[in-house]
Structure 1
Amino acid sequence: MVAFGTSGLRGLAVDLLAGPGYAHVCAFARHMLAGGSLAPGAKVLVGRDLRASSPELARQTIAALAQSGLTPVYCGVIPTPALALQALKLGAGAVMVTGSHIPADRNGLKFYRPDGEIAKADERAIAALARENAGSAAPSELPRLPPPDDEAVAAYLARYRTAFPQPVLQGKRVGVYRHSSVAADILVDLAGALGSEVVRLGESDGFVAVDTEAIDARTADRLKAWSRDHRLDAIISTDGDGDRPLLADETGRIVRGDALGLISARFLKADAVVTPVTSNPGIVGGDGFRLFRTKVGSPFVLEGMAAATAAGHRAIIGFEANGGLLIGSPIALPTAELEPLPTRDSVLPILCALTSAFGAGLELSALVAGLELPACASGRLENFSRDDSERLMTWLSEDEENVRTFLGGLGDLSGMDDTDGLQMTLSDGGSLHLRPSGNAPEMRCYASAQSEERTSALLAAGLERIRRFAQVPGLKTG
Structure 2
Amino acid sequence: MSATKRLFGTNGVRGVVGETMTPELVLGIGAALGTVRRGRIAVGRDTRTSGEALAHAVKAGLLMVGCDVVDLGVLPTPALQYVVRRHFDGGAVITASHNPPEYNGVKIIDADGTEMGDEDTVRVEDLYFSGGAGAVSWDRVGSEAEAPHMIEEYIRGIVGHFPEQIGAGMTVVVDPGSGPASITTPLILSRMGCRVHTINAQMDGTFPGRLPEPTPEGLQGLSEMVVSLGADFGVAHDGDADRAVFVDEKGRYVEENREFALVADYVCKQSKGVVVTPVSTSRLVEDVAAQNGCTIDYTPVGSIYVARRMLQLIGEGIEVAFGGEGNGGLIYPDHQFCRDGGMTAAMMVAVLAARGGERLSSAADGLPAYHLIKDKIRIPDPAALVAAVDAGFPNDAKERIDGLKIVREDVWALVRASGTEPMVRILVESADAAVAESLHREIRQAIGMP
Q: 1:121 offset after TM fit, Å?
A: 0.4
Query: What is the RMSD computed on CA atoms of the aligned residues?
Result: 3.2
- Distance in 1 (CA, whole Å) between partners of 2:337 and 2:56 is 27
Match of 1:96 in 2: 93
- Distance in 2 (CA, whole Å) between partners of 1:426 and 1:97 is 41
Q: 1:181 to 1:121 in 2, by over 3 A?
A: same
1:422 aligns with 2:407: no
1:196 aligns with 2:194: yes
Contact 1:308–1:316 (8 Å) recurs in 2:
no
- Distance in 2 (CA, whole Å) between partners of 1:19 and 1:150 is 26
Q: 1:71 offset after TM fit, Å?
A: 0.8
Structure 2 residue runs without a partner (length 5+): 136-143
**What's the CA shift string for 1:341-395, capped at 9, x where partnerless?**
11111122222222111342111122223432524353545xx2442x2331121
1:447 aligns with 2:428: yes
1:390 aligns with 2:383: yes
Match of 1:312 in 2: 317
Match of 1:143 in 2: none
Among all aligned residue pairs of Structure 1 and Structure 2, give the percentage whose two residues are the same amino acid: 24
Q: How does 1:250-329 map to 2 (within 5 A)?
A: 250-268=249-267, 269-270=270-271, 271-284=273-286, 285-286=289-290, 287-328=292-333
Q: How does 1:79-90 map to 2 (within 5 A)?
A: 79-90=76-87
Q: 1:421 to 1:223 in 2, by over 3 A?
A: farther
Match of 1:357 in 2: 352
- Distance in 2 (CA, whole Å) between partners of 1:116 and 1:103 is 26
Superposition TM-score, scaled by structure 2 size: 0.84
State the AA in 1 paired with 2:156. Answer: A
State the AA in 2 paired with 1:71. Answer: D
**What's the CA shift string for 1:212-270, capped at 9, x where partnerless?**
5xx2x522544433333332220012111110112111122223333333333343333
Match of 1:249 in 2: 248
State the AA in 2 paired with 1:342. Answer: F
**What's the CA shift string for 1:257-313, capped at 9, x where partnerless?**
333333333433332211001111132242132311000012211332133214422
Partner-residue secondary structure (3-state), 2:285: coil
Contact 1:24–1:126 (8 Å) recurs in 2:
yes
Contact 2:28–2:58 (8 Å) recurs in 1:
no
Q: 1:280 to 1:127 in 2, by over 3 A?
A: same
**What's the CA shift string for 1:392-432, capped at 9, x where partnerless?**
1121223426xxxxxxxxxxx854333222333456x2333
Q: 1:166 offset after TM fit, Å?
A: 3.2
- Distance in 2 (CA, whole Å) between partners of 1:432 and 1:26 is 41
Q: 1:458 offset after TM fit, Å?
A: 6.9
Superposition TM-score, scaled by structure 1 size: 0.80
- Distance in 1 (CA, whole Å) between partners of 2:435 and 2:176 is 30
Q: 1:110 to 1:358 in 2, by over 3 A?
A: same
1:48 aligns with 2:50: no
Q: How does 1:131-210 map to 2 (within 5 A)?
A: 131-133=129-131, 148-203=146-201, 205=204, 206-207=206-207, 208-210=210-212
- Distance in 2 (CA, whole Å) between partners of 1:249 and 1:234 is 5
Partner-residue secondary structure (3-state), 2:327: coil
- Distance in 2 (CA, whole Å) between partners of 1:276 and 1:103 is 25
Q: 1:192 offset after TM fit, Å?
A: 1.9
Contact 1:184–1:237 (8 Å) recurs in 2:
no
Q: 1:21 offset after TM fit, Å?
A: 1.7
Contact 2:23–2:57 (8 Å) recurs in 1:
no
Match of 2:10 in 1: 6
Q: 1:223 to 1:151 in 2, by over 3 A?
A: closer
Q: 1:185 to 1:151 in 2, by over 3 A?
A: closer
Which stretch has the larger CA shift, 282-291 or 93-102?
282-291
- Distance in 2 (CA, whole Å) between partners of 1:222 and 1:415 is 44
Contact 1:19–1:134 (8 Å) recurs in 2:
no
